[in-house]
Structure 1
Amino acid sequence: MNRPFMPKHIPATRRPGAPATFHVKSFGCQMNVYDGERMAEMLGAQGMTPTGEGVDADLVVLNTCHIREKAAEKVYSDIGRLRRDDGTRPMIAVAGCVAQAEGGEISRRAPSVDIVVGPQSYHNLPELIGKTLRGESAVDTDMPLASKFGALPGRPKQARPTAFLTIQEGCDKFCTYCVVPYTRGAEISRPQSAIMDEAKALLDGGVREITLLGQNVNAWTGEDAAGRAQGFDGLIRALADLPGLARIRYTTSHPNDMTDGLIAAHAQVDKLMPFLHLPVQSGSNAILKAMNRNHTVESYLAILDKVRAARPDIALSGDFIVGFPGETDADFEATMALVDQVRYSMAYSFKYSPRPGTPAADMGRQVPMEVMDERLQRLQAALNAHQVEFNTAAVGRRVPILLERMGRFPGQRIGKTPWLQSVHVIAPDAALGDMIDVDILSAGPNSLAGELAERKAA
């Protein structure tokens, strides 16, 4: 739709009055998705009504991610697109990691932004809306010691059978390329009792699979109901005892927090799915040292050997950065060799992008963009080939899938295998949330196709 010309020196004005409708748009990682859901639940508890994507709302929350290059520039572009045809705009809140990193600079650079709130302060969003209505400054990027989670409303009934649950935030690892310690703060673990309460609320609302989230989720520590020290594996075992919970997943993990107890849980806890996302980032020890990863290729592979010994059918996923400052051809070939050795079921790969304020941004020997482009294409070709290989190995097998959403065709349902593969199946009598057995007929790079087995899974 063409918008009327408006000179830049004439600012769009916000329509008066308290917002009655809202839309939360989240970018980036699963933790941002979780935060966006919690903000929406909180605004709903205040009596506001959510709108869909592309529907005019009184309040728009841009829940931002700061991991990739030019993230802030993309936010300002999104802000500009919120101007309406009649010259007005919604109340605009910028939340998330860009808000934390940029702070009040966002309001100075984009005067149409009413609220700036960081990822540790979004529980104050209703108060910040009130400040905006009174004409007061509404910027909150504090990182309070008190957890925000206690100020959030209880979880309502979910519209789907799977849900995210954040159990840990922040990071103390200080990888030289990463902004997370600066935007999310130090590592903090939520109390086990609070996690159990939220999990029970999700289950009561119809959820059957919970994915536990954290910047370093396997660094979680706490106490059990008897006050005894508890590691992440203990939390998983406690959650597995909850009736109604069919599946447990977790992401993202750090190799240095992959304990023997957690590895044993993969062998002993039936509800813990055989899928592990364990980023390595590079196959070169020299680059890992420059990244301050504090693990080596050898220690990483030793962990994978132990995991595979505990759960031979486990699917492995990872993250890779190509073109880190100083990465030579030999360093990159070492990454390619590692990929061929591990044979990931899926993986995420990115070109290095300097993040302001991180040590790597000031390192010498930055890799030219054309070199990064060529390396990323080669890496992704290898990763994609291994993903197809992993999916193809499922053909002819009978697997249980948890139905998560409707397909495009009549009677079609889409669900996930224990190994996080999407499966399309015609099952018109099955409801979302059902666990059904499916015979896999064919495989593509990103999904499987199957037919309903003769009987439903128990």
Structure 2
Amino acid sequence: MQEKYIDETKQGEAYAIADKIGNTKKLFLESYGCQMNMSDSEIVASILNDQGYNTTLKEEEADLILLNTCSVREKAEQTVRMRLSKFKSLKRTKPNLIVGVLGCMAERLKHKLLEEEQLVDLVVGPDAYRDLPNLLKETEGGKDAINVILSKDETYADISPVRLGGNGVTAFVTITRGCDNMCTFCIVPFTRGRERSRDPHSIIRECKELWDNGYKEITLLGQNVDSYLWYGGGAKKDFDKASEMQQLTAVHFAELLDMVATELPEIRIRFATSNPQDMSLDVFRMMAKHHNICKYVHLPVQSGSDNMLKAMNRQHTRQEYLDLIREAKLIVPEIAFSQDIMVGFCNETEEDHQDTISLMKEVEYDYGYMFAYSERPGTPAHKKMPDNIPDDVKSRRLQEVVDLQGELSTLRMKSYVGKVHEVLIDGISRKNVNQWKGRNSQNAVVVFDIKEGTKLGDTVQVFVNSSTRGTLIGEML
């Protein structure tokens, strides 16, 4: 079963890139949480690379330690606090070491981390990364520094992210920031601010740069990509073959997909994350139109119960969600879906839980991200709703959902057996160094024996002859 978030009981993901000649300082950068945090870390690394910092994977070497944090789950915050306590001890042996917190946890806790707990020197919210050079000067002068001001227009569109810790084949391209969907359980609108979309010219320019640098797949990224909406024209010099774009006054997500797929017909395109209330059938039509748009959508549902959806302030009903899935499968018959499901939300009954079980069976997800509800301070649910489902009930319901998804995943993987799949090689199999691994259009992992002449980044045809719950096993043709 795949996991949406880095294991919250373990250390986050640390990054390092090639040294920039002339840089003398060392940055240890560790990220927690969602793909947006990973993308933001690449922006931060780019900004600091120009300020004299090269990255290191050894925290004891660092002059600056930054943790890009997540507030979506309580365990993620607990893990970060443990890491900060360790770094506080490290500062005793390196008094000039600067420790900072970035991202959602920085925005949520602000002064508490600086003043009450004295765990950090620097607190920077997700819209204030441009201010890092100024904030670092303050800390070097012996002052604590903070900037958690949220922006209505910051998209970092002009910053070329430094690609960190990747495989050189796949990359994220952020197209929106923030979120306007006020789901009652979610802290994101309060930590990342209002939703804003990035100029499509800059998006395509970044995608072209990635292609020119050897990348073969991009994931268009945002809290809610389907609500992407950009107004305006642009200078013709921005494109070689996009004069038709100058006539557009508004670009929706489906149109952006069309543009990227047309401009870069050989690059694979994925996107995440979608919201059912904003998902347009035009998006599925674009998936059907373009071979290079992968036939996979992550479409969070959270619950199969209308009572729970209303309590969560999800702007879709159970039937609307199922209708969307049905229409999508008619437009793109080979499409695959994954889910987010939350169990044990406030006042959830056994009937509500069974509604979720039945919806899962009807949709037949390839895989999912499942979790039990935990209160996040500052959210509407925390302020107004009782967290009244006992932990043992949450655990039991979660296990039932996980077990069912395991059965569905097994069935879905079996449906791919006996067919030829186009697979982008993105690494070596973790279990067998003599096998490549990659993903098919439906985002299923495929492993197969390495053949002479193949290399990382190749797109190959693989006949799948067997499967496990989460992996397809095949032979390259």
TM-score scaled to structure 2, two decimals? 0.87
Q: What secondary structure sits across from 2:301 in the alignment?
A: coil
The corresponding residue for 1:416 is 439
Contact 1:208–1:244 (Cα < 8 Å) also in 2: no
Report the AA paired with residue 268 of structure 2: R
Q: How does 1:130-279 map to 2 (within 5 A)?
A: 130-150=137-157, 152-153=159-160, 159-223=167-231, 224-243=245-264, 245-279=266-300
Q: CA deviation at 1:450?
A: 1.7
The corresponding residue for 1:43 is 48
The corresponding residue for 1:445 is 469
The corresponding residue for 1:15 is none
Distance 1:145 1:442, change over 3 A: same
Q: What secondary structure sits across from 1:66 in the alignment?
A: coil
Contact 1:175–1:292 (Cα < 8 Å) also in 2: yes
Contact 1:346–1:383 (Cα < 8 Å) also in 2: yes
Q: What secondary structure sits across from 2:375 in the alignment?
A: coil
Q: What secondary structure sits across from 1:255 in the alignment?
A: coil
Distance 1:321 1:210 in 2: 28
Q: What secondary structure sits across from 2:339 in the alignment?
A: strand
Contact 2:152–2:193 (Cα < 8 Å) also in 1: no
> What root-mean-square deviation, in Å, do the aligned CA atoms of Structure 1 and Structure 2 show?
2.0
Report the AA paired with residue 213 of structure 2: G
Q: CA deviation at 1:148?
A: 4.5
Distance 1:379 1:146, change over 3 A: closer
Distance 1:178 1:395, change over 3 A: same
Q: What secondary structure sits across from 2:156 in the alignment?
A: helix
The corresponding residue for 1:113 is 120
Q: What secondary structure sits across from 2:57 in the alignment?
A: coil
Q: CA deviation at 1:365?
A: 6.1
The corresponding residue for 1:425 is 448
Distance 1:130 1:322, change over 3 A: same
The corresponding residue for 1:339 is 360
CA offsets 1:280-322 (integer angstroms, 9 cap, x no match): 1101101101111021000000101110000011001111000
Q: What secondary structure sits across from 1:276 in the alignment?
A: strand
The corresponding residue for 1:298 is 319
Contact 1:76–1:110 (Cα < 8 Å) also in 2: no
Distance 1:205 1:258 in 2: 32
The corresponding residue for 1:373 is 395
Gaps of 5+ in 2: 1-22, 232-244
Report the AA paired with residue 133 of structure 1: E
Contact 2:298–2:338 (Cα < 8 Å) also in 1: yes
Distance 2:144 2:387 in 1: 43
| 398-407 vs 347-356, greater mean Cα deviation | 398-407
Contact 1:64–1:94 (Cα < 8 Å) also in 2: yes
Distance 1:365 1:86, change over 3 A: closer
| 257-266 vs 430-439, greater mean Cα deviation | 257-266
The corresponding residue for 1:87 is 93
Distance 1:154 1:334 in 2: 43
Contact 1:123–1:152 (Cα < 8 Å) also in 2: no
CA offsets 1:376-422 (integer angstroms, 9 cap, x no match): 00010001111111112222221111011133544422111111111
Residues 1:397 and 2:397 are matched in the alignment: no
Contact 1:34–1:165 (Cα < 8 Å) also in 2: yes
Contact 2:179–2:193 (Cα < 8 Å) also in 1: yes
Q: CA deviation at 1:243?
A: 3.5
Report the AA paired with residue 144 of structure 1: S
Distance 1:53 1:255, change over 3 A: farther
The corresponding residue for 1:126 is 133
The corresponding residue for 1:11 is none
Q: What secondary structure sits across from 2:43 in the alignment?
A: helix
Contact 1:191–1:222 (Cα < 8 Å) also in 2: yes
Distance 2:254 2:174 in 1: 16
Contact 2:152–2:194 (Cα < 8 Å) also in 1: no
Distance 1:231 1:148 in 2: 17
Contact 1:400–1:418 (Cα < 8 Å) also in 2: yes
Q: How does 1:347-386 map to 2 (within 5 A)?
A: 347-361=368-382, 362-364=384-386, 366-386=388-408
Distance 2:402 2:134 in 1: 45
Contact 1:203–1:244 (Cα < 8 Å) also in 2: no
CA offsets 1:305-358 (integer angstroms, 9 cap, x no match): 110000011001111000000100010011101111111001111100111111
Gaps of 5+ in 1: 1-17, 454-458
Q: CA deviation at 1:42?
A: 2.4
